């Protein structure tokens, strides 16, 4: 005969105790895991914030250095001459930051490009001359010349449509609607808002134009690029301008430049051999932190002191490292 084995009360209690212990352990493991995840998240956040702030300080340091270099350039050399052979204009390769990142800087002469704010000039001669030059530039870039009329209407003080331009009525029908500022352009992003502007065309135009805080445009013949020189007048071709930009230029006077290149005699009053406004592009990377900064620097003609007119943290600067990487990928 088989005897029926019944579980004892003590065995039940031991089973319940074991399950309770396992549940407590599981809860403790879950809590500990969550605490570790939160801790790691906090540590990562603090590290990222620290690296971002460190990158920002490196960018500010580059700006301070650029200001000092431009100041020293004014003091040590002839302050009436600026050219691409000077220290401020030399393109330096990206350099490492103590094995934790890298930084890259570029300085651009803003007196060597077409000032779009000259379209807001009260001088009709300056306005028409700038408009013609912009249209020539757009034509060479194979961009609709009507974009020049758009830019003129964007900055002029009236509400009258000029040429193929556009005023408030054209922009109020967009979504979201907006108006023309009827004042000087303060940021290049405004160009993307022009009535017929296409992003890819604006990007193509940006290297040849600039925004200065006044409605005038003296072009430094020592630093201007080929397209800027070629579009100064109908009598100047791209070939003539390219022959100039392919050689080292350090003219000490406009007279000397015109003597060597008489085709520029008609626009001699719009030329100069010195610069007062510069654009600094900085990209600093520290760990996971990255800062891209643009500074508009203005140098006093008298004492050489350099002040910051504008800082912009929009990522319009493209690193040469990125360019090399994309080229290799292709």
Domains of the chain, with CATH numbers? 46-110+276-329 (3.30.1300.30), 117-208 (1.10.40.60)
Query: What is the average pLDDT across 151-164?
Result: 92
pLDDT tens for 117-142 read 999 999 999 999 999 999 999 999 99
**Confidence grade of residue 99 (pLDDT, cut at 50, 70, 90):** confident
pLDDT tens digit sequence for 272-330: 999 999 999 999 999 888 899 999 999 999 999 999 999 998 766 555 444 443 444 44
Residue of 242 and 37 predicted with greater confidence: 242
What's the confidence (pLDDT) of residue 150?
96
pLDDT for res 7: 54
Q: Is the pLDDT of residue 41 over 70?
A: yes
pLDDT band at residue 4 using 50, 70 and 90 as cut-offs:
low
- Count of residues in the chain: 330
Report DSSP letters for 269-291, one per residue: GGEES---EEEEEEEEEETTEEE
| Residue 166: closest CA among 142, 140, 144, 139 | 144
Which tens digit of pLDDT belongs to each residue from 182-234?
Answer: 999 998 889 999 999 999 999 999 999 999 998 888 999 999 999 999 999 99
Q: pTM to 2 decimals?
A: 0.82
Question: Percent of the chain, pLDDT > 70?
Answer: 88
CA dihedral 138, 141, 144, 146 (to 10 degrees): -10
Q: Which residues contact 49 (CB under 8 A, 6 or more apart)?
A: none
Tell whether omega for the bond before 176 is within 30 degrees of 0, i.e. cis: yes
């Amino acid at each position: 005969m088989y005897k029926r084995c019944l579980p004892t009360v003590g065995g039940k209690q031991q089973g319940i105790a074991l399950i309770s212990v396992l549940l407590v352990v599981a809860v403790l493991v879950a809590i500990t895991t969550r605490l570790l995840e939160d801790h790691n998240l906090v540590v990562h956040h603090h590290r990222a914030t620290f690296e971002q702030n460190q990158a920002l300080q490196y960018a500010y340091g580059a700006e301070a250095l650029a200001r000092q270099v431009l100041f020293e350039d004014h003091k040590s050399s002839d302050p009436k001459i600026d050219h691409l052979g000077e220290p401020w204009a030399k393109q330096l390769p990206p350099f490492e930051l103590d094995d934790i990142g890298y930084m890259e800087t570029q300085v651009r002469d803003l007196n060597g490009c077409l000032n779009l704010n000259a379209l807001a000039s009260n001088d009709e001669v300056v306005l028409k001359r700038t408009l013609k030059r912009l249209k020539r530039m757009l034509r060479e870039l194979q961009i609709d010349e009507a974009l020049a009329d758009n830019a003129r209407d964007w900055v002029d003080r009236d509400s009258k449509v000029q040429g193929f331009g556009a005023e408030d009525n054209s922009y109020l029908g967009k979504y979201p609607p907006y108006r023309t500022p009827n004042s000087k352009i303060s940021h290049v992003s405004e160009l993307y808002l022009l009535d017929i502007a296409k992003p890819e065309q604006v990007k193509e135009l940006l290297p040849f134009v600039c925004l200065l805080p006044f409605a005038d445009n003296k072009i430094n013949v020592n630093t201007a690029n080929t397209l800027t020189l070629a579009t100064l007048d109908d009598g100047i071709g791209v070939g003539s301008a390219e022959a100039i930009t392919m050689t080292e230029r350090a003219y000490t006077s406009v007279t000397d430049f015109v003597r060597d290149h008489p085709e520029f005699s008609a626009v001699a009053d719009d030329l100069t051999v010195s610069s007062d406004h510069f654009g600094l592009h900085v990209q600093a990377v520290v760990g996971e932190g990255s800062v891209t900064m643009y500074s508009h620097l203005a140098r006093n003609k008298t004492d050489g002191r350099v002040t910051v007119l504008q800082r912009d943290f929009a990522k319009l600067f493209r690193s040469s490292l990125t360019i090399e990487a994309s080229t290799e990928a292709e």
